[in-house]
Structure 1
């Protein structure tokens, strides 16, 4: 946030002091006095505003790239700034200690979860080539070589800059600095329309196909042609006068091919300009070989594979036709003598289905009927929708975690995405069990959260102290089978060890353990969040996890309930590996067990390295357990609201895993392929200590 004596959205008086509070690339917070100059835009088509400044505590010149409050209200504008920040931080971490760091802007800090988000860069080196009029042939070769070298380095990070143009290629008389990081896109993702002719490639402007490094080859060739000739080239083919410019003709002819497949890759083009240069690029690669976190994960899976099957023991199942009442948590069954329907005044009236002789009408009325529950005579009167009782045993999903973990936000967004058709790619359709109840849930939970309102913490219900029924849905699979799914939110610190708790947990089919990263991970990037929320790192794990795991029936070496662990509030770590990778992962059209195990391995490694084994107790205790990253809101609140509403990311993946474990979603290779997999080709080495050495979490790093 920029603190200034001027009003937001107006350019500050350069003569007056400002204070900038921001996060530096190491994750630490910094507050520094600054002087800021007048503001302008680098590109009239982009929302970012640019102004120069000086950090007064050290006299360091910088450039601030920011969004006004009006522009920041547009999610697309925020996404651009997030992309720019993530790209700048990734390049900083990969290149900071190399000779190549100067090829890109140097990020000094960022403040993104605020009404007027911004980035800070060290002052740029050079001026845009759009303003360069005279350059020797030798300088042209140097510029071309360094520009292609920058593209090779980006390619090595799996990134493509879609916005390379004379405005983003800076030249200081000796070397290049490449800006425009907001245009970065991961290679292999679907193209979206971007850029202007002639600098964006034809397929890039149309948004066809998949992003690849040869998109930026076209752009670089156009920049170099403009530099040599003083005019732009054609927007869909090679310039007709290339033969008149020997260097261009010898090296760039293929770069102007209308199709990316016909263009050379950046490394090939660099070698044409400077033979052997691509092979001499020496960027430190991630360390290969034994990784204690990966080995520990595979060792844990092997133990699960080798464990004997659970002994069924005393039957904990409810009797035939019995379901768990979502309010009093007693078991009930359909009783045709206890049915009610609502009249025109929305009052309950007794209903006898035998009085309706038409079977179609009777079925329609039964769909809207409710049954008065007599499971607990001391509990206030409550009514259960008949469809909840007539489609077999409901699948009961319970959210578990501290009240600070964001369970309510995650569950709300999960149900919202289901009702928006989020499960349809997996062959499932959803409808509400009780339309009136669902409408109230949408009105009181979904709409306020989507509009940016922070929801309250989980509360107890009617003095029961721990289990809040949230919603129930009917899921129908591709074969027409219908299954009710009921969602509960367990109240974190309010969990108590009572007989009613035990009774409820005996009926739970699936658990979602939500990890609060601020409590679990002692990373400097989270210190600011901990300070805001009054939290401290807890090395002993989530007490709510232990309370639940201790009360579940265990008839073998592992619990047999289906479980998913979720690193919630993952937006707090959205620029950190491996979280950045998974938050950017697009939703797939079908469940991919290998990718889900890979995500589990990455999250396991992150938690084991930084949080310790106590936070992994659900994974170590439950045989069928996957791990995920998710963000219910996409960012952090400011002054009690999310500045541009909430933008959920990957909130359905944990539920998809649980539904697959219960057979509602088909899993290629079977459920075992999803949760424990096959023995890897290389032999796992058992871990030698609880936490492992502090090395980079491997397995998922790009």
Structure 2
């Protein structure tokens, strides 16, 4: 039986047992009176209950019938009060409405973490665009936003970044309100078979302010423990050696000092081990992709032939492991020079499966006189897709071209 993970509270439920929400429609087949809205205390409590009282007046929730409605009614069930068939499923744990097609496919939760100003919101905006265009073309994939809220935010992200050339704002801290995840349906051709395979991708962005201590991070532990993979974004401009090596005049503006990536990675591992995600040797078994961002600012520090300066061609619609290993080793060498390898040693001890990446979401820094703007030419990303494709490849969702022998140094299998 299909198991569904709520993308909001991350509670696991059997799809057949998910409740429904009444539509309160006036087209009842029984000719009865439509249902009145009721206060949904469970949903209000989950979202914080800070909105106007009217916001929590919603259609009544009723249990799923014992039969399997999707086998003969397209996933609809009749409200026992008014008789109107509803397709709206809700999570039993938090009463959040689930997109109509979310419960009918596998889901992959991708946790996105990183200190404030590491570029998480910009990264997601650019990644979605690349999956729809350049990368999607290589893999024969399509990406569609699921649910009204994600569709609205998806349109706003695209308009702001690609039409208005405005960078996304910072992620709202959990203390100031509830952050909805972004839900997408990724469709890929079935390997060696006709038809497509659909997977729900859930992107949950934790605000940098919520990663400053293990205590603050605790509120995200449930979502982190449910994740199929974690992407940790590392801002190289937070490292003293990089700041010292870059030119002071005419160079990129330096962000204020934030929580070190080493501390974030260590605190996340501690939280996950406390929720049973540690293996026999105490290392977390959730795959971790560590991506050094803003590589466009590092051009003067890189060899002209560095793999970090170019996109991989994704030849034949396959993820190239040889290329990944080259990027991993190049990034590991850079980290050893920047912080004597302290971050990499911490990662090796805390995680059983980890790979290093380097990427640039914009391709060049924002204008010095308008740091909230994208470059005038628009985003020209480099390797933003690599961390996600690596995680998808490990789950067998995309084909992988593997090298004759796997590399060394703690890289992923």
Same fold (TM > 0.5):
yes
Q: 1:562 to 1:526 in 2, by over 3 A?
A: farther
- The unaligned stretches of length 5 or more in structure 1 are 1-319, 687-702
How does 1:463-502 map onto structure 2 within 5 Å? 469-479=181-191, 480-495=196-211, 496-497=214-215, 500-502=219-221
Alignment of 1:382 with 2:96, yes or no, is yes
- Alpha-carbon contact 1:511-1:564 (below 8 Å) kept: yes
Q: What is the rounded CA distance, in whole Å, between the counterparts of 1:571 and 1:441 in structure 2?
A: 27
User: Which residue number in structure 1 is paired with residue 352 of structure 2?
Assistant: 623
User: Which residue number in structure 1 is paired with residue 73 of structure 2?
Assistant: 362
User: Which residue number in structure 1 is paired with residue 117 of structure 2?
Assistant: 404
Q: 1:542 to 1:341 in 2, by over 3 A?
A: farther
User: Which residue number in structure 1 is paired with residue 314 of structure 2?
Assistant: 588
Deviation of 1:453 after TM superposition, in Å, equals 0.3
Q: What is the rounded CA distance, in whole Å, between the counterparts of 1:551 and 1:336 in structure 2?
A: 29
> Which structure: larger Rg?
1
Q: 1:514 to 1:342 in 2, by over 3 A?
A: farther
User: Which residue number in structure 2 is paired with residue 613 of structure 1?
Assistant: 341
Alignment of 1:372 with 2:90, yes or no, is yes
Match of 1:481, SS state, is strand
1:301-332 per-position Cα deviation (integer Å, ceiling 9, x unaligned)? xxxxxxxxxxxxxxxxxxx6443322233334
User: Which residue number in structure 1 is paired with residue 128 of structure 2?
Assistant: 415
Match of 1:532, SS state, is coil
- Alpha-carbon contact 2:185-2:198 (below 8 Å) kept: no
Deviation of 1:521 after TM superposition, in Å, equals 5.4
- Alpha-carbon contact 2:238-2:255 (below 8 Å) kept: no
How does 1:50-449 map onto structure 2 within 5 Å? 321-334=2-15, 335=17, 337-340=19-22, 362-363=73-74, 369-376=87-94, 382-392=96-106, 394-420=107-133, 422-434=135-147, 436-449=148-161
- Alpha-carbon contact 2:285-2:353 (below 8 Å) kept: yes
User: Which residue number in structure 2 is paired with residue 574 of structure 1?
Assistant: 299
- TM-score normalised by length of structure 1: 0.44
Deviation of 1:511 after TM superposition, in Å, equals 0.6
- TM-score normalised by length of structure 2: 0.71
The structure, 1 or 2, with the larger RCO (C-alpha pairs under 8 Å, 6+ apart) is 2
Q: What is the rounded CA distance, in whole Å, between the counterparts of 2:394 and 2:355 in structure 1?
A: 10
User: Which residue number in structure 2 is paired with residue 450 of structure 1?
Assistant: 162
Q: 1:502 to 1:337 in 2, by over 3 A?
A: closer
Deviation of 1:620 after TM superposition, in Å, equals 4.9
- Alpha-carbon contact 2:109-2:202 (below 8 Å) kept: yes
Deviation of 1:388 after TM superposition, in Å, equals 1.8
Q: What is the rounded CA distance, in whole Å, between the counterparts of 1:499 and 1:641 in structure 2?
A: 33
Q: CA RMSD in A?
A: 3.7
Alignment of 1:532 with 2:253, yes or no, is yes
Q: What is the rounded CA distance, in whole Å, between the counterparts of 1:535 and 1:416 in structure 2?
A: 29
User: Which residue number in structure 2 is paired with residue 656 of structure 1?
Assistant: 389
- Alpha-carbon contact 2:289-2:355 (below 8 Å) kept: yes
Deviation of 1:396 after TM superposition, in Å, equals 0.7
Deviation of 1:609 after TM superposition, in Å, equals 1.2
1:90-144 per-position Cα deviation (integer Å, ceiling 9, x unaligned)? xxxxxxxxxxxxxxxxxxxxxxxxxxxxxxxxxxxxxxxxxxxxxxxxxxxxxxx
Deviation of 1:653 after TM superposition, in Å, equals 1.3
Q: What is the rounded CA distance, in whole Å, between the counterparts of 2:12 and 2:353 in structure 1?
A: 26
Match of 2:202, SS state, is strand
Q: 1:428 to 1:582 in 2, by over 3 A?
A: same
Match of 1:574, SS state, is helix
- Alpha-carbon contact 2:234-2:293 (below 8 Å) kept: yes
User: Which residue number in structure 2 is paired with residue 146 of structure 1?
Assistant: none
- Alpha-carbon contact 1:322-1:333 (below 8 Å) kept: yes
Deviation of 1:528 after TM superposition, in Å, equals 5.8
- Alpha-carbon contact 1:632-1:646 (below 8 Å) kept: yes
- Alpha-carbon contact 2:237-2:254 (below 8 Å) kept: no
1:324-359 per-position Cα deviation (integer Å, ceiling 9, x unaligned)? 322233334434641455979xx97679998xx998
Q: What is the rounded CA distance, in whole Å, between the counterparts of 2:11 and 2:61 in structure 1?
A: 23
Q: 1:531 to 1:419 in 2, by over 3 A?
A: closer
Q: What is the rounded CA distance, in whole Å, between the counterparts of 1:658 and 1:406 in structure 2?
A: 20
Match of 2:241, SS state, is coil
User: Which residue number in structure 1 is paired with residue 267 of structure 2?
Assistant: 547
Q: 1:520 to 1:619 in 2, by over 3 A?
A: farther
Deviation of 1:635 after TM superposition, in Å, equals 1.9
- The unaligned stretches of length 5 or more in structure 2 are 27-36, 38-57, 78-85
Q: What is the rounded CA distance, in whole Å, between the counterparts of 2:294 and 2:22 in structure 1?
A: 42
Q: What is the rounded CA distance, in whole Å, between the counterparts of 2:255 and 2:239 in structure 1?
A: 14
Match of 2:284, SS state, is coil
Q: What is the rounded CA distance, in whole Å, between the counterparts of 1:542 and 1:527 in structure 2?
A: 26
Deviation of 1:575 after TM superposition, in Å, equals 3.9
- Alpha-carbon contact 1:493-1:543 (below 8 Å) kept: no
